[in-house]
Amino acid sequence: MGILEQMSLKGKAIFVTGGARGIGKSVAEAFCQAGADVAIVDLDLETAKETAEQLRRDTGSDTRAYGADVTDPEQVNAMIEAFLKDYGKLDAAFCNAGICLNVPAEEMTFAQWKKVLDVNLTGVFLTAQAAGKVMLKQGYGSIINTASMSAHIVNVPQPQCAYNASKAGVIQLTKSLAIEWAKRGVRVNSISPGYIGTDLTLSSPDLKPLIAQWNAMAPMGRLGKPSELQGICVYLAGDASSFTTGADFVIDGAFTCF
C-alpha cells in the first residue's frame, strides 16, 4: 500500500465531537476532503446542522449532524446508536469537545471546576469509551483525543487551573486506553494544540487582549491556524498510523520548548 493510499480516508466513517465550529469543524473538513463520511456532534445542534450541510455541499461526503451533551452517558450512547444505524461502522473518533474558564483558583466555585472537568475529561472518557466498545467488537479503530499544550505547561497570564488539570488528565487517559486496547486493534492518541486562532479566540472579549502577549512569548510569533491541525488528525485517523498509539502530539509552534 502506497503512502497516498495509506493517507486516504475513503470509505471510513468518523465522528467529531465539538465539530460545529473551531478546531472540530476544521478537522472534520479535512476528514471529508480525505474521503471520509463524517458526523458532526455538538451540543449546538443547529450550528452542527449548518456545518454538516456546508461540508456535504463542499466535499460530497455523507455528513450528518447529531446533538449530544458529551457529559451525559445516555446522550453519548444514543448518539453512537444513531451513528451506527446511519453508517454501519465506526472507523475513527475525534473526541474534541472542550471548554475553558479563566477564573483565579481561589475564586473558582466547585460548579465551575466541575463543569470544566465534566466536559474536558469526563466527556472525552465517555465518548472514547463508547467508541471503544464499538471498535473492540469490530477489531479495529482509531480514537483521537484533544488535549492541549496546557497539559504540559501552565499558561500565563490567564488563570485556568481547571483547564490545565483536565487536559493533563486527557493525556494520561489516552495512554491508559492505548495500553488496554493495544492488542485488540484499537489505537488511542491525543493532540496537544498550542494557541489556535479560532473564531472564538479571535473574537472573545476575554481572550482577544491576551493575543499580543501570547505572540510575544511564542517562538514563531503568532497563533496557530485550525488548518494546521488537519494533517496530524488525518494521519492518526487513517492506516498510515497503524503503529502509532499512546502518543501525544504537541502542535504549538515550539511554545512548550522553553
Q: Which of 61, 87, 167, 241 is catalytic?
A: 167
Instruction: Give catalytic status of residue 163 as yes or no.
Output: yes
**Candidate list 142, 148, 150, 192, residue with the active-site label:** 148
Contact 233, 27 (CB under 8 A): yes
Single out the catalytic residue among 8, 61, 142, 163.
163
What whole-number distance in Å separates Cα of residue 95 and Cα of residue 244? 17
- Render the burial of 161-199: b for 16+ CB within 10 Å, e for the rest: bbbbbbbbbbbebbbebbeebeeeebbbbbbbbbbbebe
Contacts of 229 (CB under 8 A, 6+ apart): 23, 26, 27, 191, 193, 196, 251
Cell numbers for 33: 476532503
Residues with active-site annotation: 148, 163, 167
